[in-house]
């Protein structure tokens, strides 16, 4: 009898690299940011990957958090999306901060945050 996959599988993680306290890994937040930015531009994987000089499969794996890309690969994809490394780093950091804020509220922890517009 064949086994079926659960309807909403958890994101894949590398053995020995489990997130602490459910905090997402950098590569996961990076991948989500890159995918969102690519979608915001209305681009296909093949478009962005071609400009970055990588395969669409590799870009897909980066976006899904399956690969830990080198700094050169991150710079190539950022450049293909017309982003600086600083812009991309800030976007990833904001995503991680947003996750931490959401997690602390969900767990009942109260913390003071100052938000700037």
pLDDT at 115 exceeding the cut of 70:
no
Gap between the Cα atoms of 41 and 33, Å rounded: 12
Give the pLDDT of residue 24: 83
Residue matched to tokens 């009898």: 1
What is the 8-class DSSP label of residue 57?
H
Q: How confident is the model over 53-112, as pLDDT tens digits?
A: 999 999 999 999 999 999 999 999 999 999 999 999 999 999 998 876 555 444 444 444
pLDDT at 49 over 80: yes
Mean pLDDT of 2-22: 44
Compare 88 and 3 and report the one with higher pLDDT.
Answer: 88
Q: Would you call 23 helix, strand, or coil by DSSP?
A: coil
Tens digits of residue pLDDT in 31-43: 999 999 999 999 9
């Amino acid at each position: 009898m064949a086994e079926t996959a659960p309807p909403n599988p958890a994101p894949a993680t590398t053995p020995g690299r489990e997130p602490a306290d459910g905090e997402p890994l950098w590569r996961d937040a990076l991948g989500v940011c890159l995918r969102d930015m690519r979608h915001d531009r209305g681009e296909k994987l093949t478009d962005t990957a071609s400009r970055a000089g990588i395969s669409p499969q590799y870009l897909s794996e980066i976006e899904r958090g399956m690969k830990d890309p080198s700094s050169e690969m991150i710079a190539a994809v950022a450049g293909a999306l017309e982003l600086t490394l600083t812009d991309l780093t800030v976007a990833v950091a904001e995503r991680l901060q947003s996750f931490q804020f959401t997690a602390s509220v969900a767990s009942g922890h109260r913390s003071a945050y100052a938000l700037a517009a």
